[in-house]
Amino acid sequence: MTSTKPRVVAEGHLVRLREKTMDDAERDYAWRCDPELAAYDAARPLAVRFPNFVATMAEELQYPTIHRRTYAIEDRESSRHIGNVMYYGYDSYAREAELGITIGDREFWSHGYGTDAVRSMLRFMFTEMRLRRVYLHTLTWNYRAQTAFQRAGFRRIRRVNRGGYDFVYMECEPRDLAEAADAAEPNGANGANEA
């Protein structure tokens, strides 16, 4: 068990984003080995043994890098770890990074948790990291993800091919996040999360 409580970096209406701990390893491993979840990432299921995965995760937690960071997504109501959100390709000069997300726990699919997690992560990236742009790639057939990203403030830019897969390239800037938050509020009040 983890002796100190991990730092919470952002909270939304439904989720809390916190630093990863070794307590997350078993769920992370199961999600990374899941063929359906791997397909959403245009990847193959993880093929390494659990002890090797744990060793790699422990090293990443002990020696974090500014260029890539993964945070756990928790359901605020139950504190249950339901997925992960990350940034990578961080460029301090251009003040931009790529975002990725996995809601690994299927019980939380299609209930707004992904949108809430993305909005919360964007607020953290724009406010704490002072980024000017966040981008992502999502598979062209993953309409559910594209809808969640658009609700969070991402704009479709173009289709791209990477590694033999077709993706929709999307971007978000601080004003896009603010506009999406305003659109989510019934009276146009400035709020960052959907109900």
Q: What is the mean pLDDT of the chain?
A: 92
User: Given this model, what pLDDT does residue 32 score?
Assistant: 96
CA distance 105 to 83: 7
> What is the distance between the terminal CA atoms of the chain, rounded to a whole angstrom?
33
Q: What is the pLDDT of residue 194?
A: 33
Element (H, E) at 117: helix 113-127
Q: In the prediction, which pLDDT does 186 show? A: 53
Count other Cβ atoms within 10 Å, centred on residue 129. 17
What value does the mean pLDDT take over residues 114-138? Answer: 97
Q: Is the pTM of this model over 0.85?
A: yes
Integer angstrom CA distances of residue 122 from 16, 32, 144, 190: 13, 24, 19, 16
- Give the start-to-end residue ranges of the domains of the chain: 8-184
Judging by beta carbons within 10 Å of its beta carbon (0-12, 13-18, 19+), is residue 76 exposed, middle or buried? middle
- DSSP-derived secondary structure letter, 44: P
At residue 146 the predicted structure's pLDDT band, cuts being 50, 70 and 90, is very high
Range of weakest confidence among 85-94, 163-172, 184-193: 184-193
pLDDT in tens, 68-121: 999 999 999 999 999 999 999 999 999 999 999 999 999 999 999 999 999 999
pLDDT above 70 as % of the chain: 93
Alpha helices in 128-173, H assignment, sequence order: 143-152
Q: How far apart are CA 161 and CA 140, in angstroms?
A: 10
Q: Which CATH architecture does the domain made up of 8-184 adopt?
A: 3-Layer(aba) Sandwich (3.40)
Query: Residue 183's pLDDT band (boundaries 50, 70, 90)?
Result: confident
